[in-house]
Amino acid sequence: MKGRIKKIFENADAEAIVIMNSSSIDMTFFYVTGFESGLFENSAAVIYPDGGMEVICPELEESAAGGKVHIFSSNKEKFRILKDRLGAGKIGINSRAISHADFMKLKEILPESEFVDVYGAIRMARMVKDREEIGRIKKAGEIVSSVSDEVSALLKEGTRENDILAEINYMMAKKGGTPSFDTIVAFGINSSIPHYSTGRKEFEFPALMDFGAKYRRYCSDITRTFVSGKEQQKVYEIVEEGQGIAFDMVEDGTNSKDIQNRVDEFFSKNGFGKMIHSLGHSIGLEVHDGFSMKEDFILKEGMVITIEPGIYLRDRWGIRIEDDVLVRKNGIELLTKK
């Protein structure tokens, strides 16, 4: 993990960085530690510019850590250890993840220290994946691709949305994954709601399914929509063509906003206006792992992003297609099977 830690410090002006978990988990903790099991609530990792790291955790996580760690039995003891390890100096924190209570306690025990926000450095480091990360995301992509091949056979008269949801999650589990977010199954009018919460509506077209697998902590994210009739098929083909336009533009050095704008222009030309959501987002340890395609952001080789154009006809239905791609120097590598 030394390489990942050093990559963070390339853009962080700090003598040490502390990654703090409360009841909410900062996934950067697993980025720098590489731990594959364990929850690590109320734990911390202190990292240093030379790639060094120290983990502070309760005893119940010691076996999951599988190595040398600092064990505490109370919150008071945890902060005593942190005070000893950090000392005075310039200390980096992840402002997007640290709890207010933990930050105030750090300021209390380290009154001579200067605290700086290193969220930007963490974000940049995590967005460009290393070989191990790419391998895990590829596997997560293989799992959802395999499930998507099988799910159409489940669409039968009388089948309800929650029935399909249960089957999707079961199939992902059998193939070695867990859901990376709450699976969405939306039939008919419900498909017009991008972040619909799956209910009990009986099957009708279009049938939209948005789901992802997590494999060894890394996520995939896919959407498949099954359609019927000429109107739905026509819109599907426009969405698919929009995705193809994006695929052709993605490469190292391209501005993500330019891709978003180009697809929006294509949809507008076809009478549907701009998309009501981003064309996609980065994925990794989290399903939304750093940025959205609406941002003014330069893509870099090694980033993994979703491309998910969608068209939604209010109070009627919607169609979305989503796949995961690895940004390469001169194009993409598709990580989910079309």
**67 pLDDT more than 90:** no
Provide the 10 A C-beta neighbour count for residue 276: 11
pLDDT, residue 68, reads 83
What percentage of the chain reaches a pLDDT higher than 70? 100
- Strand 53-58 vs strand 70-72: parallel, antiparallel, or unpaired? parallel
Residue carrying the six token digits 């896919």: 222
**91 pLDDT more than 90:** yes
Tokens representing residue 71 in the block:
């064990």
Any residues with CB less than 8 A from the CB of 263 and at least 6 apart, and which? 242, 243, 245, 246, 275, 279, 309
Any residues with CB less than 8 A from the CB of 112 and at least 6 apart, and which? 88
- Strand 304-307 vs strand 213-215: parallel, antiparallel, or unpaired? unpaired
Task: Reduce the DSSP state of residue 102 to 3 states and report it.
Answer: helix
174, amino acid identity:
K
pLDDT, residue 88, reads 82
269, amino acid identity:
K
Provide the 10 A C-beta neighbour count for residue 181: 14
Longest dimension (CA), the chain: 69
pLDDT, residue 87, reads 85
Tokens representing residue 203 in the block:
């099957």
**338 pLDDT more than 90:** no
Tens digits of per-residue pLDDT, 166-219? Answer: 999 999 999 999 999 999 999 999 999 999 999 999 999 999 999 999 999 999
Any residues with CB less than 8 A from the CB of 176 and at least 6 apart, and which? 139, 143, 215
pLDDT, residue 201, reads 98
Strand partners, 70: 56
Task: Reduce the DSSP state of residue 317 to 3 states and report it.
Answer: strand
pLDDT, residue 102, reads 97
How would DSSP label each residue in 230-295? Answer: HHHHHHHHHHHHHHHHHHHH-STT-BHHHHHHHHHHHHHHTTS-S-SS-S-BB-SSSSS-S-BTTS
Tens digits of per-residue pLDDT, 209-267? Answer: 999 999 999 999 999 999 999 999 999 999 999 999 999 999 999 999 999 999 999 99
Tens digits of per-residue pLDDT, 147-172? Answer: 999 999 999 999 999 999 999 999 99
Average pLDDT, the chain: 97
pLDDT, residue 218, reads 99
Domains for the chain: give ranges and CATH numbers.
2-126 (3.40.350.10), 131-334 (3.90.230.10)
What percentage of the chain reaches a pLDDT higher than 90? 98
**20 pLDDT more than 80:** yes
pLDDT, residue 291, reads 93
Residue 90 and residue 14 in contact, taking contact as beta carbons nearer than 8 Å: yes
Tens digits of per-residue pLDDT, 314-335? Answer: 999 999 999 999 999 999 999 9
Residue carrying the six token digits 């009154």: 111
Output the pTM of the full model.
0.96
**300 pLDDT more than 80:** yes
**66 pLDDT more than 90:** no
Any residues with CB less than 8 A from the CB of 230 and at least 6 apart, and which? none
Which band of pLDDT confidence, cut at 50, 70 and 90, is reported for residue 274?
A: very high
Task: Reduce the DSSP state of residue 136 to 3 states and report it.
Answer: helix
